[in-house]
Chain A
Amino acid sequence: DAKTTQPPSMDCAEGRAANLPCNHSTISGNEYVYWYRQIHSQGPQYIIHGLKNNETNEMASLIITEDRKSSTLILPHATLRDTAVYYCIVRVEGGTSYGKLTFGQGTILTVHP
């Protein structure tokens, strides 16, 4: 699986957009980018995933660069409840991967009032 690099921490003002970057320069063509978050003391929560097209759902948007070497998770209007650790995960689809995930250190996002 491709290695990912995320900043250890970021701050954001409430109501503003939070843009969380992830570098995955060794990603291969059949690897997807997944984002999860973990609010303090809770289990991780799936946010969004994508292959090469930008994706949007009710929680966030995922922007993947054309060369697929990096991506950005966007929370359009951050709230205090979005304070969490955000994990960017790259995984190949299918085969014997069986949906296993490898979590790194993630980015601690703190949303300030």
Chain B
Amino acid sequence: NAGVTQTPKFRILKIGQSMTLQCTQDMNHNYMYWYRQDPGMGLKLIYYSVGAGITDKGEVPNGYNVSRSTTEDFPLRLELAAPSQTSVYFCASSYPLRGPSSYEQYFGPGTRLTVT
């Protein structure tokens, strides 16, 4: 198992550009999540998905879009990048069953994004 993989590892964007952060998991997890982490801060939930075709907003969704067409993939789209979106982005997935195990999340290595 590769676990949760994210691409790219690093990216520099100019203001107003768009990009898609890729996330793939090979553990057959139904639940997937996108978090962002600003320097010195904890992680904040952007979007999450409980299965293919089902997504919902987290704490900080503005400026982002997601889709979930397959169980494995959960891409995060940034439209019109702004300096405030400079952050480290983490994708995570968790077990499909409800209950305490659904909180045992597996995280990817992160994408470090700079918007200038």
A32 CA to B100 CA in the complex, in Å? 8
Binds A, one of B67-75, B76-84, B90-98: B90-98
Nearest neighbor of A93 in chain B, beta-carbon distance: B100
Which residues in B have their C-beta under 8 angstroms from that of A103?
Answer: 35, 42-44
Q: For the complex, is A99 an interface residue (Cβ under 8 Å from B)?
A: yes
Contact A100 B45 (CB under 8 A): yes
Complex contact B109–A100 (CB within 8 A): no
CA distance A41 to B104 in the complex (A): 20
B105 near A101 (CB under 8 angstroms)?
yes
Q: Which residue of A lies closest to B109 (CB)?
A: A43
Report the 7 A-B pairs with minimum CB-CB distance, sorted nearest first: A43-B107, A103-B42, A99-B102, A103-B43, A99-B94, A46-B104, A99-B31
**Could you show 30 A-B contacts with beta carbons less than 8 Å apart?**
A32-B100, A34-B103, A42-B107, A42-B110, A43-B107, A45-B107, A46-B104, A49-B100, A49-B103, A49-B104, A93-B99, A93-B100, A93-B103, A94-B98, A94-B99, A98-B31, A98-B48, A98-B56, A99-B33, A100-B45, A101-B43, A101-B103, A101-B105, A103-B35, A103-B42, A103-B43, A103-B44, A104-B42, A105-B41, A105-B42
Interface magnitude class on chain B: 20 to 34
Q: Which of B31, B35, B42, B90 contacts A106 (CB 8 A)?
A: B42
List, in ascending order, chain A residues with CB within 8 A of B64's CB.
Answer: none
Q: Which of B4, B92, B110 contacts A41 (CB 8 A)?
A: B110
- Complex Cα gap A41–B108 (Å): 11
From A41, A46, A101, A104, residue with most partner B Cβ within 10 Å: A101
Residue B58 at the A interface, CB < 8 A? yes
CA distance A101 to B103 in the complex (A): 7
Question: B115: CB under 8 A from chain A?
Answer: no
Cβ distance B35 to chain A, nearest Cβ, rounded Å: 8
A9: CB under 8 A from chain B? no
CB-based nearest A residue for B54: A98
User: Could you tell me if A99 and B42 are in contact, using CB atoms closer than 8 angstroms?
Assistant: no
Q: With a CB–CB cut-off of 8 A, which chain A residues contact B4?
A: 43
- The residue of chain B having its C-beta at the shortest distance from the C-beta of A104 within the complex is B42
